[in-house]
């Protein structure tokens, strides 16, 4: 929704109609399942992704790789 709010429906649809290969992309949108095992320099996880289980000190544990 933020992409549509920022760039407009027409721009988002135009961009989706002509995707580029991943190695030429500035941004890659993916599901967690599909991206598992891939390596990128930077990753942003959406807020609806479940938090890792807490460790013994009740802090979030590491995200498994």
46 close to 57: Cβ distance less than 8 angstroms: no
55 close to 47: Cβ distance less than 8 angstroms: no
Tell me, yes or no, whether 52 lies in a domain. no
Tell me, yes or no, whether 5 lies in a domain. yes
Number of domains making up the chain? 1
> Rounded CA gap, 45 and 27, in Å?
13
- Give the three-state DSSP class for 11: helix
> Rounded CA gap, 63 and 52, in Å?
6
Tell me, yes or no, whether 9 lies in a domain. yes
Q: Structural domain of residue 7, as residue ranges?
A: 1-46
Tell me, yes or no, whether 39 lies in a domain. yes
Q: pLDDT tens for residues 3-56?
A: 889 999 999 899 888 888 888 988 888 888 888 888 888 888 887 877 777 778
The verdict on pTM exceeding 0.75 is no
């Amino acid at each position: 929704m933020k992409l549509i709010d920022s760039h407009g429906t027409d721009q988002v649809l135009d961009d989706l109609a002509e995707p580029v290969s991943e190695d030429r992309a500035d941004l890659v949108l993916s599901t967690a399942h599909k991206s598992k095992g891939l390596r990128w320099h930077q990753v942003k996880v959406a807020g609806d992704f479940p938090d890792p289980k807490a460790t013994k000190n009740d802090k979030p544990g590491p995200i498994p790789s």
